Amino acid sequence: MADTRGDINSIIGENLTLLSHEYSSAEERRLTQLRERALFISRTTSLLDSDNRADEFDALFDDGTVHDSIPETELHIAEQMNTQFFSDKLTVCKFLAEEYRARKINILEKLLGNEPYGDAVKIAYFRNAYADAAFRIFSDVIENPAVIYAEDFSAVCEEVYYGRADMCMLPLDSSRDAKLISFYRLIDKYELSPIFSCDVTTPDGSVTTRYALLAKSPALPKNEVLTKCDRFFFEFSLIPSDGPILCEVLSAASKCGLSLYKVDSIPLSYNESEFSCDVILKVGSVAGLEAFVLFLALAIPQYEPLGFYPHISQK
Per-residue confidence (pLDDT) for residue 271, from 0 to 100:
67
Q: What is the mean pLDDT of the chain?
A: 84
d(CA 212, CA 171): 6
**109 or 85, higher pLDDT:** 109
**62 or 201, higher pLDDT:** 201
Report the C-alpha dihedral over residues 51, 215, 308, 315, rounded to 10 degrees.
180
Per-residue confidence (pLDDT) for residue 76, from 0 to 100:
46
298: exposed, middle or buried (Cβ count in 10 Å: 0-12, 13-18, 19+): buried
Per-residue confidence (pLDDT) for residue 246, from 0 to 100:
86
Q: Where are the alpha helices (DSSP H) in the chain?
A: 2-42, 46-49, 53-60, 75-102, 107-112, 129-138, 153-161, 181-189, 223-226, 245-255, 286-299
198, 137 Cβ separation under 8 angstroms: yes
**71 or 24, higher pLDDT:** 24
Mean pLDDT of 246-273: 85
Per-residue confidence (pLDDT) for residue 269, from 0 to 100:
66
Per-residue confidence (pLDDT) for residue 77, from 0 to 100:
42
Q: What percent of the chain shows pLDDT beyond 70?
A: 86
pLDDT digits (tens, 9 = 90+) for 151-190: 999 999 999 999 999 999 999 998 887 888 889 889 989 9
> Residue 81 — very low, low, confident or very high, per pLDDT cuts 50/70/90?
very low
Of 16-25, 94-103, 246-255, the least confident: 16-25
Per-residue confidence (pLDDT) for residue 66, from 0 to 100:
46
What is the domain partition of the chain in residue ranges?
2-105, 112-312
d(CA 277, CA 250): 12
Whether pLDDT at 110 is above 70: yes
Per-residue confidence (pLDDT) for residue 134, from 0 to 100:
95
Q: What percent of the chain shows pLDDT beyond 90?
A: 39
Whether pLDDT at 114 is above 60: yes
Of 80-84, 212-216, 263-267, the least confident: 80-84
pLDDT digits (tens, 9 = 90+) for 25-70: 667 788 788 888 888 888 877 888 888 888 888 888 876 554 455 4
112-312 — its CATH code?
A: 3.40.190.10
Mean pLDDT of 219-247: 79
Per-residue confidence (pLDDT) for residue 72, from 0 to 100:
52
Q: Where are the alpha helices (DSSP H) in 164-260?
A: 181-189, 223-226, 245-255
Mean pLDDT of 114-136: 88
Per-residue confidence (pLDDT) for residue 78, from 0 to 100:
43
pLDDT digits (tens, 9 = 90+) for 268-305: 766 666 788 889 999 988 899 999 999 999 998 888 89
